[in-house]
Amino acid sequence: MEKGSYFYSRCLQLVFVFLQTATYVICKPCPPCGTTPVPFPFSTDSTCGDPSYKIRCSATNSTLFFDTINNSYPITSISPTFQRLTIKPPFIGNNSCISPDLSSGGVWLNPALPFNVTSSNTIMLLNCTANILVSPLNCSSNSLCHLIHQSSCQNLPICCTFVAGGSSTSHSIHISTQYCSAYRSYVNLNPAQPVYTWQNNSGLELQWASPREPLCTTQADCEDSTKMNCETSSDSVVKRCFCISPLMWNPISGTCEQSMFLILLI
């Protein structure tokens, strides 16, 4: 009986802590884009999310778009827990082996923004010239790129395969008429699987750095002054809304929360 009521009250306490935690929202998440959720830290307009994580919403077809330096790609999935999203590069047409984004050089991420290309991507550069052969990429005759089913790119002599995410490919998938005019990208490709299933892994996966606490100029900018103080951070001159101890910044939810350690102590 005694034991039961102890657990009962402990449970209530935990529920209470979690309820409190849930109310400490400071960076307002954005409303859904049509029917597609927009998780924190993404920002579809200036009133919500973190402005460094700006994406665009096309509400009529519930599609989110990720803008690169000279282009825009539909977002096909977002995983806040793993801080990764997948974009869809445009399809290569059946008539010529040229990626529609050739004119803008392929995918170029703005290096000033907190996104990079993950090492889960297997990239195949297609319709290449002999200029590419000086690169360290695998352009041999048994390179995986020779296997893909893409009618306009089949039977072309030079193509190359590489796994992205190295320092030289962390912010771009570079194509050009001088080197390679088309590309395909696959996330978590298992080359042992039959080639006709590869299409299922089509996409380009990006990763984002954890968002920092929101910027502020005065205390009034911090959504909840009982949970946050507008202070200059030790590593820079900008001011941010820092969580008041013992609350801690949670970059996944964008909230000030009790640390797990404290929850366990109660």
Ligand X SMILES: *[C@@H]1O[C@H](CO)[C@@H](O)[C@H](O)[C@H]1NC(C)=O
Which of 52, 76, 170, 250 contacts ligand X by CB under 6 A?
170
Distance, C-alpha 252 to centroid of its chain = 12
Least distance from ligand X to the Cβ atom of residue 31, Å: 17
How big is the CA angle at 202 (ends 197 and 207), to the nearest 5 degrees? Answer: 135
Quick check: 209 binds ligand X (CB under 6 A)? Answer: yes
Least distance from ligand X to the Cβ atom of residue 97, Å: 4
Which of 74, 135, 229, 250 contacts ligand X by CB under 6 A?
74
Quick check: 116 binds ligand X (CB under 6 A)? Answer: yes
Please, which residue, 37 or 224, has the CB nearer to ligand X? 37
Query: Which residue matches tokens 């968002």?
Result: 211
Q: How far apart are CA 116 and CA 37, in angstroms?
A: 22
Quick check: 88 binds ligand X (CB under 6 A)? Answer: no
Say whether the peptide bond before residue 89 is cis (omega within 30 degrees of 0): no
Q: What string of DSSP letters covers 161-201?
A: EEE--SGGGSSEEE--TTSEEEEEEEES--TTS-GGGGGGG
Quick check: 144 binds ligand X (CB under 6 A)? Answer: yes
Binding site for ligand X (CB under 6 A): 58, 60-61, 63, 69-70, 74, 94, 96-98, 104-105, 108, 116, 127, 138, 140, 142-144, 151-152, 156, 165, 167, 170, 177, 181, 196-197, 200, 207, 209
